[in-house]
Amino acid sequence: MLPGLHDMHVHATGLAEPSLCNLEGEVKPMEELVPFLKNCLERERLPAGEWLVVVGWASGNEPSDRYKNMRMALDAVSDTHPIVLWSSHSAAFNSAAFAQARDLEGQVVGMNRETLPTVYADYREMVSVDETGEPTGKVVEDARDFIRDTVFEDLMGLNEAADYAMPAVAKILAQSGITSIQDPMSVARTLEMYDWYEKSGEMSFRVRAHFYGQPHASVYSNDPDVMARIPEHVAHFSGLRDKYRDSEFIQADGVKFFMDGGLYGAPRPFPEPPTLPITGIIGEFKQPIFYAREDGSLDLAGYVDLDSGACVDARDNFTAYQDFDRASGFAEEHGYHPAQCVKTSGQLGHNEDYVNEYIRQMTEAGFHVHVHSESDLAMRTLTDAFEANKETADRLGVTQTIAHATLVHPDDAQRLGKLGVYISTTYNWMLPYPDNIAVIPFFEELDSLEGMYNPARYFIRNVFPVKSLLDAGSPLAWGSDAPQGIRDPMPFANMQAALTRELDGQVLNAKERLNIHEVIASMTIEGARLMGHNDRLGSIEVGKIADLIILNQNVVELAQQDQANRIGDTLVDLTLFNGRVIYERPQPQ
């Protein structure tokens, strides 16, 4: 038996099976993807010009002779319907969709080789292009909004009816043993769905909503009014908080924003030119030169000499090298694209002044602040802001939480510990997936890709340093981040990952493994403490509310018997919420 689990970063309304076309995370080769999407289009019977919206996309679809990139594949599905394939931090579009792209003033200009270096100059690293400079289909982060700005509604199930979505959400949570959640991207519609479920009398989980909706692309658009609009958000969020103040199971008292994008999701080594991670870093990005072996695997040929005469010329004459013929001649002569001559430390989603002011105003208004932060520069900037507002947060009894904390400089890990900032993290992300680790050559110069896992490297030493953060004083809280990647929150697969950090015999930053008691605490009592109900929930004690689960195997014994690799198979036999049974696993006859 364990206390009911606390999932402190889950987009719960997106857990229900969507009515939209759904790839369910399967990476189909493009030759298989095209007929699959054609079937979706035929099934939905969309009028000409209507969007085909597809969720559950995971990039990496294998090209073919017919379909050399995603744009070509999606154009083969339809040239009259704009098409979007969504994942959490990226999307793929067809030509009809790119033609609808708008500029910052909302005028349709199209996204193409002419507008990318001009209209969308601040976003060009977010758009994958071919050797001619035309988009190949994949677009990441904020650049997606110029083409279709409904990623939130499409991915989070907010267009579904509450009477369909909420019982389905509750079933998934109950069979996972999850009885309390934090929804980190809530809007008015999200609260309406939770409210409907509570009023139905069937509510089977507790939720803290963190409101999301700061001004769009505040840094990239150079919006002069971005600071002035923060009070509007405070007022709007305060109104929503007041509306649900008397709710028994809904706490509408948090806010969330993004410091940066996905550290792993953006680098693309194969396009010409390769693109960098969409974030800012403490150092300066390297410019690796990749090539594909005969078997299609990635290899490293070396690095661009950014101080060479050729690179200095490319930077000084950046506009001239937008010309395809000139860029191609440069690449043929030097072995890399002139765009790889850029010297950059990247860019965060917001500047320091905005981050500090946003946190200051939200903290003073009594909101718990929850921030997506992945890179070391994002973590440092956010640590400064939390430090500046710590006294106010403590005085008002509100929490400061960082979601993900992917790469943390050791100095900042110690500072965060002293501040007592909560770390809400997804243990499944801490496995050494090759596609994720491929980001390392952009951070450090390697002799070969075979040295990426060297524990002496800065990135490996400091990637997901959860044990160091915990030892320094930062409480850990688990968050599945579902439905990103997969609709199932998978709590026990996450538990196993926190203990082993192992995949296919490879271990990622072994010194940061947690023990079983630390992991259980992060999934129970620390989540309860973060939500402010640890006096009533989060542990098995006389007098506390009976949010309890019974498992089919003893995870503590498995960990202590060196069988942690079996924990991921754990099933929930029974879930109690508020003293009533909400789930019983069917037993084999």
Percentage of the residues of the chain whose pLDDT score is greater than 70? 96
Q: Is residue 456 over pLDDT 50?
A: yes
Q: What is the pLDDT of residue 217?
A: 38
Is a pLDDT exceeding 70 seen at residue 296? Answer: no
Q: Is pLDDT above 90 for 435?
A: no
Q: What is the 3-state secondary structure (H, E, C) of 312-367?
A: HHHHHCCCHHHCHHHHHHHHHHHCCCHHHHCCCCECCCCCHHHHHHHHHHHHHCCC
Which of 484, 467, 485 is closest to 476 using CA atoms? 467
Is the CATH number 3.20.20.140 carried by domain 157-260+348-531? yes
pLDDT for the residue 265? 56
pLDDT, the chain, mean: 91
Q: Single out the residue of 580, 282, 511 nearest to residue 411, CA to CA.
A: 282
Query: Predicted confidence band at 126 (pLDDT cuts at 50, 70, 90)?
Result: confident
How many angstroms separate the CA atoms of 492 and 490, rounded? Answer: 6
Note the pLDDT of residue 219: 34
> Higher pLDDT residue, 271 or 95?
95
CATH architecture of the region 19-154? Roll (3.10)
pLDDT (0 to 100) of residue 128: 87
Residues of the chain with CATH 3.10.310.70: 19-154
Amino acid occupying residue 73: A
Q: Give the residue, 434 or 284, on which the prediction is more confident.
A: 284
d(C-alpha 1, C-alpha 15), whole Å: 25
pLDDT tens track for 529-585: 999 999 999 999 999 999 999 999 999 999 999 999 999 999 999 999 999 999 999
> Which among 343, 321, 220 has a CA at the least distance from the CA of 272?
321
At 371-419, the pLDDT tens digits run: 999 999 999 999 999 999 999 999 999 999 999 999 999 999 999 999 9
Q: How far apart are CA 55 and CA 21, in angstroms?
A: 6
Cα within 13 Å of Cα(265), Cβ side: 22
CB-CB neighbours of 353 under 10 Å: 11
Q: What is the pLDDT of residue 465?
A: 98
β-pair type (250-258, 206-211): parallel
Residue-wise pLDDT tens digits, 301-352: 899 999 999 999 999 998 888 777 888 899 889 988 888 998 999 889 888 9
- What pLDDT is stored for residue 213 in this prediction? 77
Torsion from C-alpha of 312, 316, 320, 322, nearest 10 degrees:
70
Q: Minimal CA–CA distance to 115: which of 87, 96, 135?
A: 135
pLDDT digits (tens, 9 = 90+) for 179-208: 999 999 899 999 999 999 999 999 999 999
Phi, then psi, of 582 in degrees rounded to 5? -115, -10
Higher pLDDT, 525 or 15: 525
Q: Mean pLDDT over residues 156-168, rounded?
A: 89
Q: CATH 3.20.20.140 in the chain: give the residue spans.
A: 157-260+348-531
Residue 225 has pLDDT above 80, yes or no: no
Per-residue model confidence as pLDDT tens digits over 258-290: 898 878 754 455 545 667 777 899 999 999 988
Residue 271, Cβ neighbours under 10 Å: how many?
A: 16
Residue 384 host element (H or E): helix 376-396
